[in-house]
Amino acid sequence: MQLGTRWAVGAEPPARLSSEVVAELRSVEAGLPASERGVARWTLTWLEGRPVAELDLGIVVTVDHAGTVVVRHDDQDQSD
C-alpha cells in the first residue's frame, strides 16, 4: 500500500486520479448532507497501483481488477 493524500469534500482531488474516479467522488459528495460538505475529508491511498479513496464517513471509492470504479461502504465485503 502506498500512502497518498487527504483533502476536504468539495476541494479539488489529486490530479493523478482518473476522470472516472473523480466523477464518482463528485457523485458521492453530491449525495452528502450540506453539513458534511467542507467538513468530511477523503483519504487517498494506493493498493496494487489502484486508488482507494475513503471518506471519513465510511464510503470508499476504488477501482477493481477489471478497471471498474466501485463505490461501497467500508463495512461491505471487499471481493475485488
Q: Please, what's the b/e burial string for 53-73 (b: 16 or more CB within 10 A of its CB; e: otherwise)?
A: bbbeeebbbbbeeeeebeeee
In contact, 46 and 4? CB cutoff 8 Å? yes
Selection from 19, 10, 14, 8 nearest residue 45 by Cα: 14
pTM for the whole structure = 0.85
Assess contact for 80 and 64: CB atoms under 8 A.
yes
Express each pLDDT in 2-59 by its tens digit: 567 999 999 999 999 999 999 999 999 999 988 887 789 999 999 999 999 999 999 9
Of the candidates 40, 30, 55, 35, which has an alpha carbon nearest to the alpha carbon of residue 8?
40
